[in-house]
Structure 1
Amino acid sequence: MSSSNIKNQNPTNHFAIRSQRVVTEKGVHAATVIIKNGLIDSIREYNCEPGCAVEDLGNKVLMPGLVDSHVHINEPGRTEWEGFNTATQAAAAGGITTLVDMPLNCIPVTINKQAFDEKLDAVVDKLWVDCGFWGGVIPDSVNDLDELLDAGVLGVKSFLIDSGIEEFPNMEVDDLRKAMPILAKHNSPYLIHAELDCGNSEPAEIGHSYQTFLDSRPKSWENDAIDMMIDLNREVKANDQDCHVHIVHLSSAEAISSIKAAREEGLSLTIETCPHYLTLFSEEIPDGKTLFKCCPPIRENDNRHQLWQGLKNGVIDFIVSDHSPCTPQLKHIDSGDVEKAWGGISALQFGLPLIWTQATERGFDLTDIAHWMSAQTAKFIGMDHIKGHIKVGYHADFIVFDDESEYVITNEMIKHRHKITPYEGRIVRGRVERTYLRGQTVYDNDEFINTPVGQPLLKGRI
């Protein structure tokens, strides 16, 4: 980041922000929010005399900072793909004040305490927002799981299918049966990449064809994987243990009915989806456009509408980015080879405008956005006592949001390491003007303020 994009600011520990539209759990209303020492000290009427410096936002929205619990930062080891400095700057530019880093594609993968310690060393002086961490569990690391969870990871993730990373192999049923009681004992969520190739399909010849890629990873793979996790969850519950299973990046709307039934049965099951599944659809993806490749794949438009309905009905709990970047070379942009391209969507800072643009067309409002992208994600990571709400006693994590501004996404706007995204050229509505982290401005109208002030968030230490 060039020096022209970073400003110094002397943080003050007592000030107020007022707006005609403050988003709280009670709705959107005019209020003055008073901040002391990085926390929300009080929320008072709009025209009060706060006894400190006050900024009036007028009709601009003041809303809680977003909490993104699914981000691949890839440091240490693959910093040519991303890194904590650039990823957390992109987060701040997108109104994300808290994120959680995934246990791959870094080197070493975060499957034991030693690897976790290396990751914690890597974040020093690089965090522009607060950052928690997921651990991982693979067949050979189940015995390391207790120590890893005690070290402060917020939970762990596994794959049920090839992850694409050799050092992070998938779990089989017997491995899952060993891990789930340990997760239950620690009261930590078990994140599952839910694709299961029950038929051991021969690798498809995909080449440049998006439709062939889509056909190669059918909805049945997700549906079967989710059904298997529900069955295992039922087994654990029958043994008087409660393992919180979380399905990451749901793309198959066909799974919604079984998820709903499992919840009604009393099983601990939460679900996330992502902006790319809610805003993109396969019928509009041209062949050879590798930037759209991800796993599970972006599916049909009808499926997309059903995912929105799942959000509306509360079966899908929240929205996260699944920012999964790599180098332009690994994306095979020039050749257009979908088969060889690394799968992952790069769009960390654009989640809010992408979702807001679609949500307004469907009759949703700012309270829905705050619920899906702040409150529910904060609850999921065990931080809803300090994050995810504009509420007295909580961290003063805010976004100043111009919900009416329309603009075109360009590669030049991008703050993550590689300036590529499938959303280039897309018209969106809603601009993040400013981001506050614990009362300090970290991003202001395309400029980063001062130095990184983000903190690691460890389970049991907050």
Structure 2
Amino acid sequence: MEHLDVIIINGKAVLPAGVVETDIGIKDGKIAVIKKGIQNEADFIWDAEGQYIFPGMIDVHVHFSEPGREHWEGFHTGSMMMAAGGCTTYFDMPLNGIPSTVNQAALYEKARLGNGKSFVDFSLWGGLVPGNEKDLEALAESGVIGFKAFLSTTGNKEFEAVDDISLLNGMKMIAKLNKVLALHSESAAITNWLKEEKEKEGKCSADDYLETRPIIAEVEAVERAIYYAEITGCPLHFVHISSAKAIEKIEQAKQKGMNITVETCPHYLLFNHEHLRELGTIAKCAPPLREQEEQRKLISLLIDNKFDMISSDHSPCPYDLKDPNVYNLFQAWGGISGGQFSLLSMIELALQYNIPFETVAKWTASAPAERFGLSDRKGKIAEGVDADLAIITLEESHFVTEENYYAKHKQSLYIGHTFPCKVVGTFVRGNVVFKDGRLAAQTPVGGWLKPEGCTVVK
């Protein structure tokens, strides 16, 4: 009888077809056997009595700002935070590092840092910016998970928004490379013009900020990108979509057979514009938190499976850029820090709206793996794939405090929120990296993942 490294017994495994009470045996970082009553000997037994075993989350949208801005968030603290939230793979966005990940040299340097510091596995986005079309092929061949571009002003001089011609040229090349282009879709013309109008009038409140980034700005950018994708054949992934009207445009394109996926983020589902009014800078993001009526529409769209996946868009910064005492809200950094809480957020919504746990697993694990070429080893609980697992209890709640939030900077919209569930363990390729409220791994065990057809670099 084969000796196993780990056996998880008595758990409720969230399998693609539903929740099943079973045991899970792990060998050499892979799930070796799934069945009730595993009798093999093992080095370590985890008794998951009363606990749910989810596939580890794959968060396709985080901002760890290393190199260059590690004081914002780096691989070390960022990956600890992901592990604490049951996330076993994240995709780091290309824009906030110095240099940004817009060429092969920058990609390899970022991968080197991640390989030495990350407690969970990761993939890396490449950037599409004006003037780097010639770098896209080398980035694709070197293993980027996809490309990211902005249709609105980034606020980051190292990573500029694309103009229409750069976008079309980039889309043509990305389609040829068989990659996906992720888009921050807000109209730069609309949002910049409205912001200038407010500034002329000396208006800078929460309501003013919301009015400068209206739903129509998201819809216009989404629609324009879809037209360009029709011309170029470029696969698209729309990030952090915040409005029902934008989803309507995306649904129409999908029904035409276009190669498009879409995500939203937990903060658009759990929070709304009232939180920006109440909390100020901590709740500022782009697109902004919407009014409560729009929040309800997004939840309905989620329940109707109009979103393909969920991501955190974890976008941290130092305290001074989120100073709650700042008078002018436009001057504060626009991002939500909260990568630790995506899986917990979706379980909270599942419990509230009677959403099956296997649907949560699809949004947080299997759909990202399938979309981005990792489904040969990630994204589900099945024999032969990586033993990436999040162990969840519904018998304890999780009250978010600065002490149990692992991000480098503790200011977060989620501080003070109580989740009706708790992460009690996280496995990355069979390694226990988080257990009972604290980091369990002594050294980083994560590595750079490349899509199917590429070699994993360690």
The equivalent residue for 1:413 is: 404
Cα separation, 1, equivalents of 2:331 and 2:158: 19
Q: Which residue of 2 aligns with 1:319?
A: 310
> What's the CA shift for 1:398?
0.8
Contact 1:332 1:340 (C-alpha < 8 Å) held by counterparts: no
Counterpart of 2:442? Answer: 450
User: Is 1:52 matched up with 2:42?
Assistant: yes
**1:261 pairs with 222, 241, 252, which one?**
252
CA contact (8 A) 1:249 1:274 kept: yes
Give me the CA root mean square deviation.
Answer: 1.6
> Which residue of 2 is the match for residue 112 of structure 1?
103
CA pair 374-439 structure 1, distance change in 2 beyond 3 A? same
Q: For residue 396 of structure 1, give the secondary structure of its aligned residue in structure 2.
A: coil
Give secondary structure in 1 for the equivalent of 2:131.
helix
In the TM superposition, what whole-angstrom CA distance separates every residue of 1:97-124 from its partner, at most 9, and x where no partner exists?
Answer: 0001000100001101111122123224
Q: Which structure 2 residues correspond to residues 77-156 of structure 1 after superposition, within 5 A?
A: 77-156=68-147
* Aligned residue type for 2:165: D
- 1:302 deviates by 1.5
2:264 paired residue among 270, 273, 283: 273
CA contact (8 A) 2:11 2:48 kept: yes
Alpha-carbon distance in structure 1 between the residues aligned to 2:169 and 2:281: 38
Find the aligned partners of 2:62 and 2:264 in 1 and give their Cα distance. Answer: 13
Shift of the 378–118 alpha-carbon distance from structure 1 to 2, 3 Å rule, reads same
Report SS of the residue matched to 2:277: coil
Question: What is the TM-score with the length of structure 2 in the denominator?
Answer: 0.94
Shift of the alpha carbon at 1:20?
A: 4.0
2:331 counterpart SS class = coil
After superposition, where does 1:231-250 map in structure 2 within 5 Å? Answer: 231-236=227-232, 242-250=233-241
2:211: which partner in 1?
A: 215
| Counterpart contact for 2:61–2:312, Cα < 8 Å | yes
Q: Contact 2:95/2:158 (CA < 8 Å) preserved in 1?
A: no
Number of aligned residue pairs: give it: 445
Q: Cα gap change, 1:286/1:438 in structure 2, threshold over 3 Å: closer, same or farther?
A: same
Q: Which residue of structure 1 lines up, in the alignment, with residue 346 of structure 2?
A: 355
| 2:220 match | 224
**What letter corresponds to residue 450 of structure 1 in structure 2?**
Q
TM-superposed CA distance for 1:48, in Å, is 3.8
Q: What residue identity is the alignment partner of 1:322? A: D
- Corresponding residue of 1:391: 382
Separation in 1, partners of 2:299, 2:14: 22
Supply the distance in 1 between the matched residues of 2:371 and 2:363 (Cα, whole angstroms): 11
Long gaps (5+) in structure 1:
1-11, 237-241
**Which blocks of at least 5 consecutive residues in structure 2 are unaligned?**
none
Q: Deviations 1:283-319 (Å, cap 9, x if unpaired)?
A: 3432562000000101011211221222222321010
Q: Does 1:461 align with 2:452?
A: no
1:337 aligns with 2:328: yes
Q: Larger % of helix: which?
A: 2
Q: Is the 8 A contact 1:70 1:321 kept in 2?
A: yes
For 1:176, the equivalent position in structure 2 comes to 167
* Residue 434 of structure 1 pairs with residue 425 of structure 2: yes
* Cα offset, 1:402, TM superposition: 0.6
1:147-201 Cα shifts (integer Å, max 9, x gaps): 1111111111000111110121111221111111211122111011100144461
- 8 Å CA contact 1:64, 1:399 repeated in 2: yes
Normalised by the length of structure 1, the TM-score is: 0.93
Say whether residues 1:252 and 2:243 are aligned partners: yes
Q: Which amino acid aligns with 1:411?
A: E
Percent identity between the two aligned chains: 35
Q: Contact (CA 8 Å) 1:77, 1:107: kept in 2 or not?
A: yes
- Aligned-partner Cα distance in 1 for 2:308–2:395: 26
CA apart distance, 1:422: 1.1
Query: Which whole-Å deviations, capped at 9, do the CAs of 1:28-47 have from their partners, x for residues lacking one?
Result: 01111111111011111x23
Q: Contact (CA 8 Å) 1:295, 1:344: kept in 2 or not? A: yes
Structure 1, 285-294 or 202-211: larger mean CA deviation: 202-211
| Cα drift, residue 390 of structure 1 | 0.5
**1:107 counterpart letter in structure 2:** I
